[in-house]
Structure 1
Amino acid sequence: MKDFFKYVFATVVGFVLSMFLICIFFIVLITAVISSVAEDKTVLINSNSVLYLNLDQNIRERTPNKRFENLPIIGSSDKSIGFSDLVRAIKKAKTDPNIKCIYLSTSSPSAGKATLKEIRDALIDFKSSKKQIIAYSEVYTQDAYYVASAADKVYLNPQGALEFKGFSSELMFFKGALEKLGVEAQIIRVGNFKSAVEPFINDKMSDYNRLQVTAYLNGLYTTFLEGISQTRHVSKDSLFNIANDYKIQTPKDALNYKMIDALRYKDEVLDELKTLSGTEKNSKINTVSINDYAENINQDQPAAKAKIAVIYANGDIVGGEGNDESIGSERISRAIRKAREDSSIKAIVLRVNSGGGSALASDVIWREIVLSKKVKPVMASFGDVAASGGYYIGCAADSIFVQPNTITGSIGVFGIIPNFQNLLNNKLGITFDGVKTGKYADIMSVNRPLTPGERFIIQNDVNHVYDSFITRVADGRKKTKEYINSIGGGHVWVGTDAVKNGLADRLGSFNDSITAAGKKAKLKEYRVVEYPEKIDPLKSLLDNTTDKIKVYYAKQEFGENYMLYQQMKKAIINSGLQARMPFEIKVQ
């Protein structure tokens, strides 16, 4: 027995020591990895360099912290860059004597249409330096070709493909599936155009929704065709007919209709890049990626005391802290408040890219913008989407800047209360019973249908939120509530129409909004600071690794239908009244 306890004790001690050593080794390993990937990387830009602009990467609102970019964790190795850093790098390259030309490579860019226009405009501006842009791809999607068409030379692989067919937008409706499951979607809303609820109660688009989808799709298409027409010197009508009749079916068709300049293999393109950059034929081209180049110039700002704060509001609007891909009311309102109370910050730019979310969270952020506008200039720059709650948080700004193809408006409110009674009672045999102390104590129960009294109460709440919404917009836009209501009701607008109806002030880029903020603050020199602070990558890694794994496998399972899965998930988990886009926009 003595030997038994001796061996047990030795085993326990050995196990504890082993675990301790393993923990020490793991900590040392992680520390070493973090130290190695966290080091600032300075890339030497050689003379006669080619700037390699790869748009087939994640183009986000902000460049994420790259400390864990190369770790073997699902999703961590994805290349990504913030669009503002990308645009700033192109602008810098315009006057950099070491950069001789740009090599643009893109097949299917991961960015919205307004973001792509910002990048395209930056490329057009770059060409004024007389430096050339060469675009090459084996396959061009429509978005890829839109950007590539800004290049001096557009080349396509002789066996490749160029997509040019026009835009379409398709919605999926779940009414039939819900009926089969025995689930009723009980809808409370304001606004005939607020069609986020339609997939749950209809089997096709309403007349109101069809009208607005047709309008905004045509608006997006007009911007698309006009841009290509200007740089390719093909009339807009001709481009429309080429797409309408699906005339681009082979690479030779693309050449014959002057959509491209030549059919080339990559080795031929590389030879041309050597000539443009002054590189000898048998030598290797000096290339620098847009990611490395942007990182090099990231701190290249004037040492001015005066600052302009850019506050990024990106993603769904939610209560609480949120993260770098969502707009948490606490985190964003705290950032706005910090910028307002900092005397060295002379103006604020709110950069919005959001389809909306919680109406309450939107109002919390709106309040901070109103308070800030009383003490310093506040500009709003709307990105790909700034609609519903996304519009709510920016409507109080001194001026609102949009791109022609920004999706905005959607001033409306809705709520969805599912009724699972038929599913639970009749299909699963589950029943409920209980007691309550008040008539409306279980007003949001999902186990039974709403009573007329409950529906009346919720409708009043929705009406109140909508009235507050149009009041906020009317005050910020200096319009009457009646007028805002006439263009509200959930109606979605493209940027050009938003400027015409007064929901926005100017067509302009993100940089235009920063320049306007500096001008209104009467600043001759300033530097830009960004808020909120990016979430520490280690904390993000530890907090979100499980979620990343789930998202990774969900995307693998659902493929292109992942967005539909997200829609259903949002409808189930979103609580409170929503000021949200009427649908997820996917134009193809």
Structure 2
Amino acid sequence: MKQFFKFMFASALGTFVSITLSGIFLIFIFFAMLTGFTTSTLSSLAESNEKVEKVENNSLLRLTLNKPITDRSSENPFENFNFSTMESQNGLGLDKILRSIEQAKTDDKIKGIYLDLTYIPAGMATLEELRAALIDFKKSKKWIISYSEIYTQGTYYIASVADKIYVNPAGIVEHRGLSSELMFFKNALEKLDVEMQIIRHGKFKSAVEPYMLEKMSDANREQMELILNTAWSSMTKEVSKSRGISVAKLNELADNMTIQDAQIAKDEGLVDELFYKDELLAELRKKLEIDSDDDINSISIEKYASTLKKKNKKKQEDKENAKNQIAIIYAAGEIRSGKSKGDIMGSETMSKAIREARLDSNVKAIVLRVNSPGGNALASNVIWREVVLAKKAKPVIVSMGNVAASGGYYIACAADKIVADEKTITGSIGVYGVIPNAQGLMNNKLGITFDRVQTNKHSGLMSVFKPLTAEERDIIQIGVEKVYTDFITKVADGRGMTKEQVDSIGQGRVWMGLDALKIGLVDEIGGMDRAIEIAQKSAKLDTYDLVSYPKLEDPFEKLLEKLTLNIETRVLNNALGNEHKYYKKLQSVTQQSGIMARMAFDIEIH
């Protein structure tokens, strides 16, 4: 009870402070503009975002990648802006990281790549595409060197492509295999006296298990083990190929956890040398063929990406008037009705983006980049319809990122071709309905009661302050079954399968990209570049320009939105400390209502 009021007070306080400080901020902006401060400051920020860096001769390209990697780079200088340092904390999106590595491959000024790796906050498929780009870079006969004090499993997976891997003598190389922990809310909801009334279809539809159980069901454990084993098998095979260490040996080392020690990691062949930073710099000078007292010319990939902008700007007028365009439409986040915001993919925003690309005669093909665990079933259906209409007008190719599951697969299934990474999490063809019943919370915990007047028998069906009757449960079950039947019908039509075939691999079951290929849910293994290549061939284009959708938000609107969200987050962090993340998760759980097509979990490699 005490903890509940702590949560409730923190949320209320966060909202109050957000509104108050947002108002103060707006007043500050107004007066600052009068003095010219804001204009000059914001202009300088925008200019810094547009600045094109100079690449010196005999340079190395430095990849740190310690900021979250999204599919699409932001052009907004205020994205993730840090007001304490007056600097943007933006990281590059995967799109510009891959293009930068590709350009460096043929850039005579770039002699090699230096991987300065500690932690890469990215999903498995993102790491896979990044690794593939580095392997392609090596075809230029240029070198890659990696160094770290601590290699996580994700960073080592990337580093394993390097010609030489170095680690600090007192450093650590993590290699222990993969695991996944799921959070269950059954007991917490019981303590709050909140009942999650659940109606589902599909024995594997694990999205509802956190509300019902205290641990994984056998069916969910089965699919989780398959996902992790498939991902680990793929990773060890790739590392084995790069480092010349057998898969059996890699598994033995993981089981024994013997290579955390840097010296043992070297003895077992996972790293080449134990270097302090000064020794690494000496090695880099040797690779660049410069004297020991010469400065090393290096450029970060963030700065190097500005040279990509320069090329785009030279062709901006041509790009706007180009007759051969491939539209990349980024469909990322949980699917909900309305407009996109933050990590939410709004059906209104996405439908508009697909429609604009369809109606633009200059756009000859569409690549729909899906990175979504799903969400609201109705919103997914709205987006799916626009994909169907677009497919009638021009080729539509889906590129799946880290996850394209449930509603994410729903919007993808109508495409001409579906391309997924080996480690993409997809499938989860299943549906569930959930209506919270907070009557106990209100009556027993807070002393709040409700009374109701209604015109018809089921007018109060969607109330969250009463339990469902048996008849009402049947009504919702019929709705869930209808949505599921509609879901598998759309998949069957899109994939050239029977409904029975889809149902046999559906039931809410989650698949990895490799397994999805075998059962017909995807057509090919590959990344974004491969999807663009297929789109080009499908549209029979010799040359083309790339255009991105949806159109980016106004930077100032985004700034105000971020300010409000950041204030609330800071207040909750101060009030709850480490419990903050659990509160946010529980808040997400209790806000779900209606019929959903969503996967329950996300997996990252650490």
Common fold: TM-score over 0.5:
yes
What amino acid maps onto 1:293 in structure 2? Y
C-alpha distance in 1 between matches for 2:587 and 2:474? 27
Larger radius of gyration: 1
Selected match of 1:468 from 477, 481, 486: 486
Selected match of 1:310 from 301, 304, 328: 328
Shift of 1:544: 2.9
> CA distance change for structure 1 residues 50 and 581 in 2, over 3 Å: closer, same or farther?
same
Selected match of 2:301 from 269, 278, 290: 290
Shift of 1:564: 4.0
- More displaced, 549-558 or 291-300? 549-558
Match of residue 7 from structure 1: none
Residue 110 of structure 1: SS of its match in structure 2? Answer: coil
> CA distance change for structure 1 residues 192 and 94 in 2, over 3 Å: closer, same or farther?
same
Match of residue 583 from structure 1: 601
Where do 1:431-470 residues align within 5 Å?
431-470=449-488
TM-score of the aligned structures, taking structure 2 as reference length: 0.90
| 2:101 pairs with 1:90 | yes
Selected match of 1:134 from 126, 141, 145: 145
Match of residue 403 from structure 1: 421
What amino acid maps onto 1:500 in structure 2? K
Contact 1:385 1:407 in 2 (8 A): yes
How much identity, in percent, do the aligned residues show?
A: 49
- More displaced, 559-568 or 499-508? 559-568
C-alpha distance in 2 between matches for 1:21 and 1:235? 61
Match of residue 202 from structure 1: 213
| 2:60 pairs with 1:60 | no
> CA distance change for structure 1 residues 518 and 383 in 2, over 3 Å: closer, same or farther?
same
What amino acid maps onto 1:471 in structure 2? T
Shift of 1:279: 2.9
C-alpha distance in 2 between matches for 1:458 and 1:352? 29
Contact 1:150 1:231 in 2 (8 A): yes
| 2:530 pairs with 1:512 | yes
Match of residue 160 from structure 2: 149
C-alpha distance in 1 between matches for 2:117 and 2:96? 18
Contact 2:387 2:411 in 1 (8 A): yes
Q: How many residues align structurally?
A: 570
| 2:444 pairs with 1:426 | yes
RMSD, aligned α-carbons = 2.1
Match of residue 190 from structure 1: 201
| 2:272 pairs with 1:222 | no
Match of residue 12 from structure 1: none
Selected match of 1:51 from 53, 57, 61: 61
C-alpha distance in 2 between matches for 1:278 and 1:560? 49
What amino acid maps onto 2:78 in structure 1? F
Where do 1:242-391 residues align within 5 Å?
242-298=253-309, 300=311, 305-323=323-341, 325-391=343-409
Match of residue 83 from structure 2: 73
C-alpha distance in 2 between matches for 1:410 and 1:71? 36
> CA distance change for structure 1 residues 356 and 50 in 2, over 3 Å: closer, same or farther?
same
| 2:40 pairs with 1:32 | yes
Match of residue 10 from structure 2: none
Residue 217 of structure 1: SS of its match in structure 2? Answer: helix
CA displacement 1:526-546 (0-9 Å, x = unmatched): 011111111121110123311
C-alpha distance in 2 between matches for 1:42 and 1:407? 37
- More displaced, 518-527 or 426-435? 426-435
CA displacement 1:82-123 (0-9 Å, x = unmatched): 111101100110110000111101111011110011111111
Shift of 1:384: 0.4
| 2:546 pairs with 1:535 | no
C-alpha distance in 1 between matches for 2:106 and 2:508? 45
Match of residue 172 from structure 2: 161
C-alpha distance in 1 between matches for 2:191 and 2:66? 41
- More displaced, 36-45 or 363-372? 36-45
> CA distance change for structure 1 residues 264 and 66 in 2, over 3 Å: closer, same or farther?
farther
CA displacement 1:223-270 (0-9 Å, x = unmatched): 111111111111111101110111113111111111100100111111
Match of residue 548 from structure 1: 566
TM-score of the aligned structures, taking structure 1 as reference length: 0.93
C-alpha distance in 2 between matches for 1:531 and 1:152? 38
Contact 2:122 2:604 in 1 (8 A): no
Residue 60 of structure 2: SS of its match in structure 1? Answer: strand
| 2:258 pairs with 1:241 | no
> CA distance change for structure 1 residues 273 and 553 in 2, over 3 Å: closer, same or farther?
farther
Match of residue 24 from structure 2: none
CA displacement 1:543-571 (0-9 Å, x = unmatched): 33111222345467767765544432222
Shift of 1:436: 1.4
Runs of 5+ unmatched residues, structure 1? 1-18
Runs of 5+ unmatched residues, structure 2? 1-26
Selected match of 1:495 from 489, 513, 529: 513
CA displacement 1:15-68 (0-9 Å, x = unmatched): xxxx99982655621111121121220111111011011111221111112423
Shift of 1:505: 0.3
Contact 1:85 1:298 in 2 (8 A): no
Shift of 1:299: 5.1
Contact 2:372 2:403 in 1 (8 A): yes
What amino acid maps onto 1:284 in structure 2? D
Residue 199 of structure 1: SS of its match in structure 2? Answer: helix
Selected match of 1:42 from 38, 52, 57: 52
Selected match of 2:128 from 117, 136, 146: 117
Residue 298 of structure 1: SS of its match in structure 2? Answer: helix
Contact 1:470 1:481 in 2 (8 A): yes
Match of residue 431 from structure 2: 413
What amino acid maps onto 2:284 in structure 1? L
Match of residue 6 from structure 1: none
